[in-house]
Structure 1
C-alpha cells in the first residue's frame, strides 16, 4: 500500500469516527512533483522544482455536500481537515444532484496492452527515470535545442512531472496509481519570425532536443519577410500543433458531459457530425503499447478507460462524472475531477486517429513542415499551411464557433509547393463544421503527442487537410 493510500484510508477512518456511519465521503490524495527548466535568449535562466502532497475530502451528510483540502498529512492535520469539512457541510444548502459514491471496482488496462485486465495501477506504463529526472538531464536537452538552432535566438522550457495518487471512499473503493510525463516546448527567432517545436512523452528519453531545435529554426528561417493575404475562405493544412487546439476546444466545450446535459454542446449522439475519416478517442491509459499518459482512475474513484467519442464521423459519447452521468441517465466514464461538478467533465487525453500514410511528397522548404503534414501539403492546389493556433476564444459554445490567430509560421501553398510565408491571420471558424462530412481532405499518417494548456491534458494530433477555413483578418487588422 502506497503512502498516499494509507493517508486516504486514515481520512475515511476519521470520517467514520467523527461523522458517523451515515456520512458518505471520498478522499483523493495526490503527490505532485513538477520540475521545470526554462530558457530565454538561448540560455537557461530558471530551474525550479516543487513537490507537494495534497489531500481532498468531499463529504455528503444529511443531503448536503461540502469539500475541503489540506497539505497537512499528519494525524492532527487530517483530523482538522475532517472537522472543518464536517462543520462546512452542516451549513451548506441541500444538494439534490448528489449521485452517490463509486462502488468497489477494479482498475483496467486498455485492451491494446499485453496483460489486459485488472491492474494495480502502480507500475504499468510508468518510467522511473522520468519521475527522477535531474536538472542536468533537462539542461542537456535545452543545450541540444539551442545548438541545433544554429545561432538563432531561442526560448522555451523542458519539464518533467511525477504524480502518485490514491483514492478511497466510505463505500469501500480503494485504488492507487502513478504516472510520469515529460514535455518540451521551444521557439527560435529569425528577423522577427518565430518557429516552434513542441512534444510530450511519457519518457524524457523520447525527447530529442536537437531535432526539436532544428525544426523550430527551420520554421523561423522559412517564415521571414511574410506577405499579407486578404480575408476569405482558404483550403488549409493544419500541422499537429494547430490541431491540438481543435482537440482542446472539442474536449472542453463539445464532449463535456455537463454542457451536453445542459444542451450547450454541439454533440448529438448517434449523428454523423464529422467526416467519415474522423475518429476521436479519449485514451488516458494508452492503447498502442505506449506508456499510459494518465492515472488509471478519476477523482471519484471511477476506473479510467478508453472512450470512443467519434467513430467514423459519428458522435458516440461525451465525458461524464457521476453527477452529469446521473442527469443523462447513464454511467460515469471516469472523468470526475475536483472541478467537474462546476466546470463539467471533459476528456483530457483525446486522440484524433491518424489516417493511412499518404503518398510521399516534397513541398518546397520541407524542413519547415511537420513530417506528417508534408504529403498533405504536396497535394494542395492553393491554400495555407498553418503551424499553430493561439489566443483562441469560443464565440458560440453550441456551434463551437471559435476566433483566434495563427502563430509561429504560415505559408501560402500553390500546386503542392510552398511559395512564400504569410503574416499571421485572424480566423473565425466553427470547428465541427470545419471537420464536417466531406470537408476533411486528408489526415496525416502519425498522431503526435503534445502537451496541453493544463498539466493534466495531453493531445495526440495528426496533421489535417481541410477544404475550407474562414480567414477574417490579417496582421494589419
Structure 2
C-alpha cells in the first residue's frame, strides 16, 4: 500500500477536499517503501525495510493556516484530520506573507521511477553487501558501508483544482575501506534512480585501491595548491553554493549574491566563463519531481551561464513583491563540465593534490561563501602527471565562488549526491593546517 496509483491518490485527495469548510485547503499525500543494509568490520550489523503512507492537510481561513497529518485513511479519520487542521488554523496568527493556493498547473513528464529499484528484495541487499565485504576480507582490509533503496510516490492537490502526481525511486551506496593497521582509508559513493546501474563491487574496488594507496601518508606543508577535486569532494561545496541562490537573501544583503548598499549580482559574471550550471527535472541521469512542494512546476532553469548569474530562486511571496517569475529552488543541478576523464586530468597536472572527499564542512562567512572543513579517505600528491604518494589530510578554508574563478580544467560530469558534477582542477586552493585523522 506504500505506493498508490495516480487514480487512487486523486480519489483520496478529492475525498479530503470535500470535507473542507475552510476558505482554502491543500493536501499532500505520499508513501514509500524503504529498505537498507549496513555493515562494519566486514560484518552486517543491521538491515530492514519499512513502509510509510501519510497525508498532510493544510486549512486556511484568510491568512491563518493550520496543518494536521494522519496515516489512517478511513472516512472518519480523514474528516477528523480536516477538522483538526481547521481548528489549528483558527488558533493561528495571521501570516502576512501568505498567498492564495495555485490553480491547476501543467507539469512536465519525468522518468524518475525504475521498476528494478522498486523490486529490490532483502536477498539483493545481502548480495550487494557480500560483493563489497568479500573482496575486502580476502585482502585483509576492513569495510564499512551502507545501502538504502526507496520506491515511493507523492501527490498534491488543493481546493482550486490543482493536482500533481509523481513516482520516484532511488538507491544510494557508500563504503569506507581501511587497511588492517588503520593508516590507509578509501571511500566511494554511488547513487542512482535505477539500481541496475549500481555495482557495489566496482565501487568497493575503488575504495580498496585508495585505502591501500593512502597508507603511510607523508606530511607536507599546508598552503595554496593546485587541487583536483573528485566529484565526491566538489559536490559538497557546490551544493552549498546552489542552496545560497535564494533571491530574498540576496536582496536583503545576506548572501554572496547581494551587493553592499543594495541590489543583487543577477546578470553579473561571477565565475570563470567555462562555468555553466542548470537544473532539468527531465534529465535522464538525474530525473526529478515535476513539481515543487507548493505545486509550482519544476522546469529546466539555467542558473549560471558562461560564468554569468542568470537566475535565482524565489518564494511566491518574494517573487510577487519583486514582480518576477516565482522560480522554485532546484532539487538537483547539472554542472556542465568538460570531456576529460579523471585520469586525463591527473596526467595533465605538473604539481598538485588529488582530493577524494571533504567532510565536516562548516560555514565561516555566508556573504563570501567561505567554508572550512577537512579532506579524508584518500589525499594524494601529484607530480609530473602521476600520483607520487599519499599525503596527510588537510584543513581547508575556501569559497566555491573563489574556487570557480580559479578553474584550470573540468572533467566529464558524473552523478554525485543526486547531481551531475565534473572533477574540477582548481589553482590556489587554500589548505590552512594538517590533520592527523585518516
TM-score, length-scaled by structure 2: 0.91
- Give unmatched runs, 5+ long, in structure 2: 1-5, 258-264
* Selected match of 2:17 from 12, 15, 29: 12
Deviations 1:365-391 (A, max 9, x none): xxxxxxx32211212222211000111
Regions of 4+ moved over 4 Å:
none
Residue 269 in structure 1 maps to residue 266 in structure 2: yes
Using the alignment, how far apart are the partners of 1:143 and 1:258 within structure 2? 49
Post-superposition offset of 1:211: 0.7
Residue 301 in structure 1 maps to residue 295 in structure 2: yes
1:228–1:475 Cα contact (<8 Å) kept: no
Going from structure 1 to structure 2, the CA distance change for 1:45 and 1:465 (only over 3 Å counts) comes to: same
Residue equivalent to 1:340:
none
Using the alignment, how far apart are the partners of 1:426 and 1:101 within structure 2? 47
Residue equivalent to 2:3:
none
Residue 279 in structure 1 maps to residue 276 in structure 2: yes
Using the alignment, how far apart are the partners of 2:172 and 2:307 within structure 1? 31
Residue 139 in structure 1 maps to residue 126 in structure 2: yes
Residue equivalent to 1:444:
411
TM-score, length-scaled by structure 1: 0.84
Residue equivalent to 1:113:
none
Residue 170 in structure 1 maps to residue 137 in structure 2: no
Deviations 1:112-157 (A, max 9, x none): xxxxxxxxx6xx3421121121111122222112233344110111
Residue equivalent to 1:196:
187
1:147–1:213 Cα contact (<8 Å) kept: no
CA RMSD of aligned residues (A): 1.8
- Give unmatched runs, 5+ long, in structure 1: 110-120, 336-345, 359-371, 452-457
Residue equivalent to 1:341:
none
How do residues 76-475 of structure 1 correspond to structure 2 at under 5 angstroms? 76-109=76-109, 124-149=111-136, 150-190=139-179, 191-192=181-182, 193-252=184-243, 254-267=244-257, 268-286=265-283, 289-290=284-285, 293-333=287-327, 335=328, 346-355=329-338, 357-358=339-340, 372-436=341-405, 439-445=406-412, 447-451=413-417, 458-475=418-435
Using the alignment, how far apart are the partners of 2:436 and 2:172 within structure 1? 34
Post-superposition offset of 1:240: 0.6
1:247–1:459 Cα contact (<8 Å) kept: no
Post-superposition offset of 1:2: 3.2
Report how many aligned residue pairs link the two structures: 421
Going from structure 1 to structure 2, the CA distance change for 1:327 and 1:134 (only over 3 Å counts) comes to: farther
Greater CA drift, 317-326 or 219-228: 317-326
Deviations 1:279-300 (A, max 9, x none): 11123332xx44x532221221
Using the alignment, how far apart are the partners of 1:176 and 1:304 within structure 2? 13
